[in-house]
Amino acid sequence: MDRESIAAIHAHHWRKGWGSVTVEEAGFILDAVAARRPRRFVEIGTASGLSGALIRLMLAAHGGERFVTHDVSARFFGDPSRETGFLLGEIGGAERVSLARLVGRGAADLMSHGERFEMAFVDANHRHPWPLLDSLYLAEVLEGSRIVIHHDLLLHRRGREPSGIGPKHLFDQAPEGRRRAGGGGNIFMLDLSMKRAELAALAVSALHLPWSLDRPMGAEAREAARAMLKRSLPGHVLSAFDRAAAKFDRAAPGWGVRRGLLGRLFP
Ligand SMILES: C[S@@+](CC[C@H](N)C(=O)[O-])C[C@H]1O[C@@H](n2cnc3c(N)ncnc32)[C@H](O)[C@@H]1O
C-alpha cells in the first residue's frame, strides 16, 4: 500500500460532496499506520466507507488485524439508496483484516462494546464539542500508541457557517508536543498517551470555548458524556462540562438561568 495505490482507488471511488479524505490526507494516515503498526484500528464516521476501505488496506500492509467503523446513520448521506459503508464491500484486497461495520453507533458506544484499539480516526460530527468528546470516549478504549487522527482541521475556514470549528478547538487546546497536523493541513494526530491531568486540562480549556451545536445535545447524549467524564476524568472536568452546557446548549439544565438575570450578573 503506497500513495499511488491510494490515488488509484481514490480516483475510481471518490465523489464530490461525499466528505471523504483526500489522497494527501489518506497519505497522512498511511504514514501513521506504517510507523506505529496498530493491530486494531477504529473509525468514527464511516459515510461511504472510502476512508475505511483505505485504512483497512493500510492495516493489511502493516500487520493490522482488525478494523471497526462506527456511524450514527444506517444510510449513506451522499446517496441514501446505499447503505453506510458500502465501499467497504466494493473495495477488496484487505480481507485478512477483520471488519466490523457498526451503524446507529457513535464513540459513546465504544465502552459497552468492550473492544480495545491502538489507533483511531475521527471524521464524524465536527461541531464543537463533539470531536473533543469523541476523543475522550476513545481515550477509554485506546492502548499502545493511543493515537487519534482527526479530519477537517480547516473546515471552519471552508464552510459558510462557524459550525465545523470542533477539530480546530481541539487542536488548539492540545499541548504542542501532543499534536501534529499534516496532509495539506486539514488533518492532525493527537497523542493521547498523556497523563490523566494533562488530558483533563485539555478537556477543560476546550469545553469552555463556545459550542457550535446546530441542535441541542439531547438528554441521552448529554448524560452519556457526563457519565464518561465522571468515570474517567477528575471531577472538575464534569463541572466544566456542566457550566459550559448551561452556557452553550439551550436544552441543558441551567441554560435559562444563565440567560437570565443571574447570567447577566455573573457571566
Ligand atoms: C464526513 S463523513 C465521513 C467521511 C469518511 N470518513 C470518508 O472519508 O470517506 C461524516 C460521517 O459521520 C457520521 N456521523 C455524524 N455524527 C456522528 C457521530 N456522532 N458518531 C458517529 N458518526 C457520526 C455521518 O453520518 C457521516 O456519515
pLDDT in tens, 246-256: 999 988 988 76
Tell me if 241 is assigned to some domain.
Answer: no
The pTM for the full model equals 0.96
Tell me if 176 is assigned to some domain.
Answer: yes
3 state DSSP class of 72: coil
Largest CA distance in the chain: 62
Q: Is the CB of 50 under 6 A from ligand 1?
A: yes
Q: Is the CB of 69 under 6 A from ligand 1?
A: no
Q: Give the Å distance between the CA of 123 and the centre of ligand 1.
A: 5
Q: Give the Å distance between the CA of 104 and the centre of ligand 1.
A: 11
Tell me if 145 is assigned to some domain.
Answer: yes
Q: Looking at residue 56, which CATH number applies to its domain?
A: 3.40.50.150
Q: Decide if pLDDT at 267 tops 60.
A: no
**How many domains is the chain partitioned into structurally?**
1
Q: Is the CB of 14 under 6 A from ligand 1?
A: no
Spatial separation of the C-alpha atoms in residues 110 and 60, rounded to whole Å: 23
Tell me if 252 is assigned to some domain.
Answer: no
Tell me if 267 is assigned to some domain.
Answer: no
Q: What sign has the CA pseudo-torsion 203, 206, 210, 213?
A: negative
Q: Are 49 and 69 in contact (CB under 8 A)?
A: yes
Give the chain's radius of gyration (CA, Å): 18
Q: Are 151 and 25 in contact (CB under 8 A)?
A: yes
Q: Are 45 and 71 in contact (CB under 8 A)?
A: yes
To the nearest whole percent, how much of the chain has pLDDT over 70?
94
pLDDT of residue 251: 86
pLDDT, mean of residues 122-131: 97
Quick one: which atom of ligand 1 is closest to the CA of 21? 8
Ligand 1, atom 8: closest residue by C-alpha: 20
- CA 186 to chain CA mean position, Å: 14
Q: Which three cell numbers stand for residue 243?
A: 457550566
156: nearest Cα among 148, 147, 164? 164
Spatial separation of the C-alpha atoms in residues 163 and 152, rounded to whole Å: 12
Q: What sign has the CA pseudo-torsion 250, 253, 258, 259?
A: positive
Q: Which three cell numbers stand for residue 26?
A: 489518506
pLDDT averaged over every residue in the chain? 94
Q: Decide if pLDDT at 163 tops 80.
A: no
Tell me if 55 is assigned to some domain.
Answer: yes
Which parts of 109-210 are beta strand (E)?
117-122, 142-151, 179-182, 187-191
The conformational region for residue 190 under phi > 0 = left, psi -120 to 50 = alpha, else beta, is beta
Q: Does residue 210 have a cis peptide bond before it, meaning omega lies within 30 degrees of 0? A: no
Q: Are 96 and 132 in contact (CB under 8 A)?
A: no
Q: Is the CB of 106 under 6 A from ligand 1?
A: yes
Spatial separation of the C-alpha atoms in residues 45 and 230, rounded to whole Å: 25
pLDDT, mean of residues 59-72: 98
Tell me if 81 is assigned to some domain.
Answer: yes
Substitution site in 12, 22, 25, 44 for ligand 1 pocket (most atoms within 8 Å of beta carbon): 44
Q: Which domain holds residue 52?
A: 3-216
Q: What sign has the CA pseudo-torsion 263, 237, 139, 155?
A: positive
pLDDT, mean of residues 74-96: 97
Tell me if 260 is assigned to some domain.
Answer: no
